Amino acid sequence: MGFCLFNNVALAAQTARRQRGTTLIVDFDYHHGNGTQAWAERVIGDGSAPLGFFSTHAYPAYPGTGAFSESRYAKEGFVIDIPLPLDTGTGDFVGVWSTLLPPVAAALRPKTIVVSAGFDFLRNDPIAGLLVDVEAVKLLCGLIGQTAAQHNAAVALVLEGGYDLNNLRLSAEMLARSFTQDAGSTHVPAAHTPRDARLREMTTEVLRWLR
């Protein structure tokens, strides 16, 4: 829809899937990864390695897709969409990721994690922005790093959105630091249930699928 000529994350994920096996795409960009999801829906169950797409995004917001009802879960792959209300803050954002990423990854056991690392979900973004503070990036990195370590998975980070240059500078630095330090020095948030009733309901439902 005009934001990219090639879907770098889908290309990377398909290569990883063919060369290394099971692949998890983690997408925390403000906007729903509609192109990535459309591709994932087409290839899941095609006989190649399992593929998971796990995304949080503001909702309702451009491009208008990514409702929870678009989520599909099966052993050979899944799409999990967690639409975030526009007033979502740091606590609930980290709450969703800390509650869901570890068990979602444990269910899939990925060999590669490809991250759609868009930082337009942060407060003060000029074209987007939830009420999430930049400290959340450190926790998110810790969580992704720990999850990758648990499954001995490689991590590929692809920069996507992020239009506040200060947020982008701080986030990119945290990202680089988190993945160049040893895992022991990163910050991993304890799982905590989101306070927003809709987010609580969605996380509970996803945990039920994983059982």
| 120 sits near Zn ion (criterion: CB under 5 A) | yes
Residues 154-173 that bind Zn ion (CB under 5 A): 161
Cis amide bond preceding 110, omega within 30: no
The number of residues that bind Zn ion (CB under 5 A) is: 6
Q: Which residues of 152-163 are buried (b: 16+ CB within 10 A; e: fewer)?
A: ebebbbbbbbbb
Which residue has the closest beta carbon to Zn ion?
Answer: 161
Inter-residue contact 116 to 11 (CB < 8 Å): no
Which of 78, 53, 57, 54 shows the shortest CA–CA distance to 66? Answer: 57
Minimum separation from the CB atom of position 139 to Zn ion (A): 20
Both tokens assigned to 182: 């040893």
In the complex, what is the shortest distance from the CB of residue 92 to Zn ion, in angstroms, rounded to a whole number?
A: 19
* 27, 29, 92, 125: residue in contact with Zn ion (rule CB under 5 A): 29
Q: In this chain, which of 17, 31, 111, 138 binds Zn ion, going by CB under 5 A?
A: 31
Nearer to Zn ion, 66 or 118 (CB): 118
Q: List all residues 6 or more positions away from 136 whose beta carbon is below 8 Å from its beta carbon.
A: 90, 93, 94, 122
Closest approach of Cβ 131 to Zn ion, in Å? 16
Helices (H), the chain: 8-20, 34-43, 90-108, 135-150, 165-178, 197-210
For the CB of residue 164, give the shortest distance to Zn ion in the complex, in Å: 12
Nearest CA to 125 among 8, 195, 31, 194?
31
Q: Does 118 bind Zn ion (CB under 5 A)?
A: yes
Q: Does 27 engage in binding with Zn ion (CB under 5 A)? A: no
**Residues numbered 46-85 forming contacts with Zn ion, rule: CB under 5 A:** none
Select 81 or 120, whichever has its Cβ closest to Zn ion. Answer: 120
Single out the segment in contact with Zn ion by CB under 5 A; choices: 29-37, 67-75, 77-85, 197-205.
29-37
Instruction: Name the site residues for Zn ion (rule: CB under 5 A).
Output: 29-31, 118, 120, 161
